[in-house]
Amino acid sequence: EAGVAQSPRYKIIEKRQSVAFWCNPISGHATLYWYQQILGQGPKLLIQFQNNGVVDDSQLPKDRFSAERLKGVDSTLKIQPAKLEDSAVYLCASSPPDTPSGGYTFGSGTRLTVV
Amino acid sequence: AQSVAQPEDQVNVAEGNPLTVKCTYSVSGNPYLFWYVQYPNRGLQFLLKYITGDNLVKGSYGFEAEFNKSQTSFHLKKPSALVSDSALYFCAVRDLTGGGNKLTFGTGTQLKVEL
């Protein structure tokens, strides 16, 4: 099966600019996650969707980050305006609806550099 | 909240020698534990998981992990290391706090296998 697709692979922007990332999960996976991985740290969950509804966005900086998953398939994550500390790899993952025991598949990520 | 700790930032081992990457966990309830590997500029790849049952879990690429409830540990092991095993390894635990079903990751351990 095709994996989790993410684009772009790399992005360099200046602080205060806006940026958007795109994710297409594995077909049939109802749950979609966005993680932020800062250099030297483990990935941290930003937001979890179940179909097109938000399940957990408690760690999403809502003053500058937004995400949507229209139609319950692909998703976009936006940052506006970006700060230097947003430089990180943004990972998208998906899992089937009945996955109490795991089954998370990750995309290759988007590496964002804010200068 | 659920958490995992990886006490070593880096582990160095000679090719052909056994390797161990350490992980300890702190959870309420039964732990669902995972190991992922990350190669440069790549996403996270699933290695293995412990849900229940046998304390020795076998995974991909010859890796295995031992669940030890009394020591709250889930160390990753391989009997004979390869240079190609050099990568960043993450321990993770399933975390249901916040209403979601996410993975909470450790800080990662860089494994370096040398000839």
The position carrying tokens 């959870």 is B27
Q: Is the pLDDT of residue B53 over 90?
A: no
A:69-108 residues touching chain B, CB 8 A cutoff: 91, 93, 95, 99-102, 104-108
**Residues of chain A contacting residue B36, judged by C-beta atoms under 8 Å apart:** 106
Find the closest chain A residue to B98 by CA distance.
Answer: A56
The pLDDT tens digits for A47-65 are: 999 988 999 999 999 999 9
- Report CB contact under 8 Å: B90, A100: no
Residue of chain B whose alpha carbon sits nearest to that of A99: B101
Give the residue-averaged pLDDT of A99-109: 78
A109/B98 touch (CB, cutoff 8 Å), yes or no: no
CB contact set of A80 (below 8 Å; sequence gap of 6+):
A18, A19, A64, A66
* Closest CB to B32 among A43, A48, A101: A101
Name the more confident of B52 and A4.
A4
Give the SS3 label for residue B43: coil
Percent of chain B with pLDDT over 70: 100
Residues with Cβ within 8 Å of residue A29, at least 6 apart in sequence: A94, A95, A96, A97, A105
Using the beta-carbon criterion (under 8 Å), do B41 and A111 form an inter-chain contact?
A: yes
Residues paired with residue B42 on neighbouring β-strands, in sequence order: none
pLDDT of residue A98: 64
Instruction: Report the range of poorest mean pLDDT among B2-11, B72-81, B90-99.
Output: B90-99
Contacts of A40 in chain B (CB under 8 A): 107-108
